[in-house]
Structures are given as C-alpha cells and as structure tokens.
Amino acid sequence: MSDGRVALVTGAGRGIGRAIARRLSAEGCRVALVARSRDQLAETASGCAAAVKTIPADVTDPDAAERVHTEIERDWGPVEVLVANAGAGHSARLERTTDADWQRMLDLNLTAPFRFVRRAVPAMRAAGWGRIVVMASTAARIGEPYIAAYTASKHGVLGLVRAAAAELARTGVTVNAVCPGYVDTPMTEQTIGTIVATTGRSPDEARETLARKQPIGRLISPAEVADAVWFCVGAGAVTGQAIQVDGGTVQ
C-alpha cells in the first residue's frame, strides 16, 4: 500500500516529526520533510530509508503551503499522505497571556494545518485516495490550567479534522488527529524548563511530575506516536477520530 506513496511531514526537524518521517520512510514512502532548520532537516533525512526531499519553510508563512506542495508536485507528483505535525506550546496564566501569545498559537497550531490540508485535498479528492493526519494533543480533548491559548488552538484543529473528515468521507480520503500526552521531546523539555523556573523544582522532579500525569507513569516515546500515525495511514475505515496516545490520560 505504501510503496512509493508521496508523503509530506511538517515539523519534521526533530521530536515527533522526525520519528514520523523516519517511520513513513521505513514503510516505503517518499517523504518530503518540512521545518525551519536546514540542519535539523538534514539530520532527519540521514535516518530515512527511502527517497527524501528537504524543504526549509516556516509553516506560518501564508505562502508556505502553496510553495511546498508545488515543489513536491514538480518532482514527485501530488501529496498522498499529509502529516501536519508542526506545532508549539505556550504556558502562562490566563491574565498574562497576551494577544501576541494567543495569535502565535492560532497561527502555528490551527491556521497552518488548515492551509496545508486545504492545499492537499483537491489532488487527493481527484485521485480517490488520501490520508491526512493532524497532530493534536490531549489538550484538544480536555482543559488544563495555564495553557489557554494552546488548548484553544488544539481544540480548533480537532474541529477542523472532524469537519474535513465528514466532508471527505465518500471520497477515499481519511482525516484523523493523533493526540499525544507528554512525549519525550524537545517541546516537553521546554515545559520542564518552565516548571523549573516557576516552581524551583529540579529538572528530574519536573520530569517526574509530567510522567505521573499519565496513568502509565512515564513519558510517551516519539516512536509510539509514529505508530499511531502509521495506523491512520493504513486504516481506510477510520476517519474523523482523535486517537489518544497518552498512556490512558483521556478515556
């Protein structure tokens, strides 16, 4: 099924995106890697098994989706598997969340995925086959203190997934969200740094605090998130779903 499929992964420079890109490559996809850092893209590409293309881009640029897709189509043809993974978090008390903080979360976590999905859909619809996976979060399902802007953006992107899945249900195109909990990635390291700075706990104590939030008592590995993405690629009857990879946090 995956042999030679054209895949696009945003946020592929590190962490979850790197694990997803390498998993898709190992399964035989040709993978276009998108991130801001050329060096990180090169490192991801070095661990890929099949053909890869690196495209440095800031996904919040309004022209990024068009430019990236056009380059892929020129060399490989239309994108068949889109993984909109690029994202970031923000933590602050509600009254300390600025308009700029709010807008940055919406731009990166909601508007950018929308643009990439919108650009990918016509070719997928025409082909009668496509897979779209958007990286959400447990914050797409529940609310927690101090992450209002992040939570709003992730709730919004889950709404995008559900609406797109309903619209495309009869076309052969599936649209799903993967919702990780705390994953052992640079983004979680930033969260740990924030906890250390605001509470005075040690990094190990902060890490243990996050691990204990998940019933399995540990952080999720990026490879475990990539497993869920690959499931979505293979599962033609699964669409419109928010697939939790969170150690049992949200049931």
**pLDDT at residue number 2:** 55
Helical segments of 6-88, H only: 15-26, 38-46, 64-75
What is the sign of the dihedral through the CA atoms of 195, 134, 152 and 237? negative
More confident residue, 212 or 143: 143
Helical segments of 92-216, H only: 99-106, 112-127, 148-168, 186-199, 203-212
Rounded Cα distance, 112 and 68, in Å: 12
Res 181 pLDDT > 60: yes
- Rounded to an integer, the average pLDDT of 57-79 is 98
More confident residue, 54 or 2: 54
> Which CA distances in Å does 1 have to 48, 99, 178, 206?
18, 45, 21, 42
**pLDDT at residue number 205:** 85
- Rounded to an integer, the average pLDDT of 53-70 is 98
Catalytic, out of 76, 116, 150, 182: 150
pLDDT band at 50 (very low <50, low <70, confident <90, very high): confident
| 146 catalytically annotated | no
Instruction: Enter the tokens of residue 248.
Output: 């049992």
**pLDDT at residue number 3:** 67
Instruction: Enter the tokens of residue 35.
Output: 């991130």
Rounded Cα distance, 12 and 19, in Å: 8
- Domains of the chain and CATH, by start: 6-181+222-236 (3.40.50.720), 182-219 (no CATH)
pLDDT band at 212 (very low <50, low <70, confident <90, very high): confident
**pLDDT at residue number 42:** 97
- Residue 176 CB partners (closer than 8 Å, separation 6+): 132, 133, 134, 161, 165, 232, 238, 239, 240, 241, 242, 243
- Rounded to an integer, the average pLDDT of 222-236 is 97
The percentage of residues in the chain with a pLDDT greater than 90, rounded to a whole number, is 84
Res 99 pLDDT > 80: yes
Instruction: Enter the tokens of residue 215.
Output: 């019933």
- Rounded to an integer, the average pLDDT of 142-166 is 97
Nearest to 11 by CA among 43, 49, 40: 40
Per-residue HEC secondary structure of 71-125 comes to HHHHHCCCCCEEEECCCCCCCCCHHHCCHHHHHHHHHHHHHHHHHHHHHHHHHHH
User: For the chain, what is the mean pLDDT?
Assistant: 95
Res 69 pLDDT > 90: yes
Maximum C-alpha span of the chain = 55
Name the residue type at position 136.
Answer: A
**pLDDT at residue number 129:** 98
**pLDDT at residue number 1:** 46
Dihedral, 100, 105, 106, 107 alpha carbons, nearest 10? 80
Alpha carbon of residue 108 to chain centroid: 11
Are the CB atoms for 71 and 55 separated by under 8 Å?
yes
